[in-house]
Amino acid sequence: MIRWWPARLLLALGSGLALALAFPSYNLPLFAWFALAMLLLALAGARPWPAALLGFLHGAVFYTATLTWIYTVMRVHGGLSVAAAAGVLAALVVAASLFTAAFSLVAAWLGRSSASRGFAAAPFLWIALEFGRTHLPAIGFPWNLLGYAASENLGLLQLVSLTGIYGLSFLVAAYNALLACVLVGSGRRRRAVAAWLVVTTALVVVAVFGGRFIPVPHPRYVAHLVQTDFPQSASYPPDWMERHAAELDELERLSVAAGEKSPGLVVWPEVPAPFSLEDARFAARAEELARASHSDFLVGVVEWRLGPHGGLAPYNSAALLDVSGRRVFLYDKIYLVPFGEYVPLRRWLTFAKHLTAEVGDFQPGSEYKVGTIANAGGGKFGVFICYEAIFPAEVRRFVTNGADLLVNLSNDGWFGRSAGPEQHVAMARVRAAENRRWLLRDTNNGYTTAIDPYGRYVARLATDIRGELDAPYDFRSDMTLYARWGDWLAWLCAAASLCFVGARLASPERSRGALPKR
């Protein structure tokens, strides 16, 4: 075990940096398979509260390196000063790092009398805390969970159809724990753990190279995903539609030409401009587009209607118009972006009043609606909007409600050309594999893509261009284990973590390492 505290600090900081390098846009996923082991080595033999500091530093480095796009959003599009934008990023980094601090505190406490006990508990604790971070009321933020670092490999990705993303996180965490145990252990136990590490390595390698044997589906339909490529703006003048009439005409021509070529489904992204069906000018254009293209038309709009407190309130919505131009489906976004579409704790966070374009904030929807695409044999689809793609259980709800196709509308223009869009599409891709559904993802400026039920990108459009993508897709009605049972593994890890803590509290050695003595 490492006794020299500067070495522990370097390991914790290096662990956070190594894990960050496993994610976009650094894209060195191999680093994820040893990054957490570095943190566990730093924790071995440490007292609980100093260990919490090590975990916090790990998180601070990791989140600062992977969430720099937060600063861009707040500074460029939120209208905040340099200091305030940096403050928002710092606040989010601190909040997220508290979870790695809690992980480190409990893992070190469990391992006070036996490092192997702390290592054994580590994967369960990690998943339990990822699960908790996902489900924090109002401000859950499951961005860049550990398993996403391994999800780019098609073979490993298939695990999520059984366990959801938490299964990949568990696999990576468990591998790191075995590695740390081999490096710290001795004697017969070390040899036994080394044998398990060799077996696990072999299984991972087989899965990695097994991607070539995954079935290749043959889709029957083609959707036309239109990438609008409008510059991002926090507000729009009243004459925006007139100023941009030529660009809207161009988009309409793209859409109609694609629909005439192969009628079916035309899709525009999450609202990148003041699109609303309450606006007679846009409504007329949308209805004509649906009729002229002989296609169902799915488009992101701002829906205005009476809110919960009276008066008109905005909803971030997706509307489907049939071939006659009649609106037949409307979904209101349920999971809104904190500090982007609404401001939590607004009474206390007075600086945040400039972060939303609408004074009253967007209102959340409440129903996981499933619609029908008449021009595709009456197939059922579910649409989720932007930020909702990072919530596995929420996307699953559309599938359990009968969706045989998933559509994701997004406007990633807020991110600029940071790592944000690449991280976002990587997480959306996992939703397709979890549920074994085709995923059509249409964005304002990229990444616009079609993803098959196993997680393959089968068609992509270049970023930052105005264009149309012929996106193959189909409908599937079979249910994966994850779709049927949801986050069963995460709940199991939470229960196992409680068992580890309970056993430690009941053990005779409790007095030697009791929590939470400083």
The DSSP-derived string for 245-302 is: HHHHHHHHHHHHHHHHHS-SEEE--S-SSS--TTSHHHHHHHHHHHHHHTSEEEEEEE
How far apart CA 170 and CA 156 sit, in angstroms, is 12
Domain presence at residue 184: yes
Same domain? 21 vs 121? yes
Same domain? 406 vs 450? yes
Please tell me the predicted confidence (pLDDT) of residue 187: 61
Please tell me the predicted confidence (pLDDT) of residue 140: 84
The residues that bridge with 224 in the sheet, in sequence order, are 266, 470
| Residues 471, 449 contacting (CB under 8 angstroms) | yes
Domain presence at residue 479: no
Same domain? 52 vs 70? yes
- What domain range is 408 assigned to? 221-336+358-473
Please tell me the predicted confidence (pLDDT) of residue 137: 79
Please tell me the predicted confidence (pLDDT) of residue 78: 67
Same domain? 265 vs 185? no
Signed CA dihedral, 426, 480, 371, 397: sign only: negative
Please tell me the predicted confidence (pLDDT) of residue 37: 96
Same domain? 469 vs 375? yes
Please tell me the predicted confidence (pLDDT) of residue 356: 44
Domain presence at residue 45: yes
Same domain? 424 vs 468? yes
Same domain? 145 vs 283? no
Q: Element (H or E) spanning 179, and its range?
A: helix 165-184
Domain presence at residue 478: no
Domain presence at residue 234: yes
Give me the number of domains the chain comprises.
2
Query: Which residue ranges of the chain lie beneath pLDDT 50?
Result: 356-360, 511, 513, 517-518
Please tell me the predicted confidence (pLDDT) of residue 274: 84
Return the CATH number at 448.
Answer: 3.60.110.10
Domain presence at residue 346: no
Which positions are annotated as active-site residues? 270, 333, 386
Please tell me the predicted confidence (pLDDT) of residue 338: 76
Please tell me the predicted confidence (pLDDT) of residue 235: 72
Same domain? 155 vs 201? yes
Please tell me the predicted confidence (pLDDT) of residue 264: 93
Same domain? 325 vs 227? yes
Same domain? 187 vs 295? no
Whole-model pTM? 0.92
Please tell me the predicted confidence (pLDDT) of residue 415: 82
Domain presence at residue 187: yes
Same domain? 149 vs 190? yes
Same domain? 190 vs 332? no
